[in-house]
Amino acid sequence: MGEHSTTHFPQEILDQWADSGLDLPTLFSAGHLGERMSVRITEASPERVVGTMPVEGNTQPYGLLHGGASAVLAETLGSIGAMLHGGPSRFAVGVDLNCTHHRGVRSGLVTGVATPVHRGRTSAVYEIAITDEQGKRVCSARLTCVVRDAEAADKAV
């Protein structure tokens, strides 16, 4: 994912994950897809996840930001929030994503901000607002994740 060092994690998150042996910026990134789309995570906590994505390279044939690109950004940000909510002994998987596209964007950078709507023991729901460089809303999204014990992931494989 390029420059992970630009992700800001609150100290309590760094302390919580310190003994996990995991690289937080790599774990809480958009993975290979996000790398191809140049998604950058700039801030990450259970209460707020912020990331950016360039429009260039993520457009549909008409030259507008592809709706699927907005969906990738939204799911990435909401999933990171849900994972941080779950903590090091749990994992989160998106099960429902809803995106409403409000306006087209042809250039620049879009910014997504994910904030929790619900954070429970087995599920987490995040609202994600994606805006253009003028602060105009491009997309509103909602992501629901299931939150499970990490041991369940090992058994599912």
Task: Identify whether the C-beta of residue 77 lies closer than 8 Å to the C-beta of residue 39.
Answer: no
- Separation CA 157–CA 141 (nearest Å): 30
Instruction: Give the catalytic positions in this structure.
Output: 75
Biggest CA pair distance of the chain: 48
Phi, psi of 133 (to 5 degrees): -70, -15
**Interacting residues of 82 by C-beta distance below 8 A, sequence separation 6+:** 92, 94, 119, 124, 126, 143, 145, 147
